[in-house]
Chain A
């Protein structure tokens, strides 16, 4: 079991560029999440999904998009990157009311 795998681990983007953060899980979890964590801060929910084909906004969705075409994959798309999107991004998956498994994170810098 690989758990939750995120790629890439690090990325530097220029302002206005786009990129996709990949997340895949092999635990057959229905629920998947994207969080961002700014330095010294807590976890803020960007988007979440309760199953394939279903996504919804979290508390900080602006500037991001997601899709969930399969149970395993939940990519996060950044369009027109801005310095405010410099952060560490975590993907997580779970079944309802059970342990959440997190990926190792993607450290993104927008310059």
Chain B
């Protein structure tokens, strides 16, 4: 089955710096790659996603890049702000509508 590995597990960045989180997957058939942000006490919410027919997608300070050959996709947050502090999860689809989440990355933005 699918194996999604996410690194790092924790990431501490200075406000204004960039943060990068990487996920690798094993199923070549995967074609949809979302990133979710989970704030304390809340459910995960989609922040950006990418499909396999594109290599990069941007939304303001957030971008996702996909390398299908190497089977990895990354989340990039530029000019980090305190409100970016949260847990971030990647996900990759499995069969029958299932998807597997990465283990999560705790991002802490320090002033």
Contacts and interface: CB of A to CB of B under 8 A. Distances in A.
Interface stretch (A12-20, A42-50, A66-74, A79-87): A42-50
A106 B45 CA distance: 16
**Size category, B interface:** 20 to 34
A48 B102 contact: no
A102 B97 contact: no
Contacts of B101: 42-43
A12 B108 CA distance: 31
Given A30-B97, A41-B103, A98-B32, 13 more contacts: A31-B97, A42-B102, A43-B101, A43-B104, A94-B99, A96-B97, A97-B31, A100-B34, A100-B44, A100-B46, A100-B99, A103-B43, A104-B43
Interface of B: 31-32, 34, 36, 41-46, 49, 89, 91, 93, 96-104
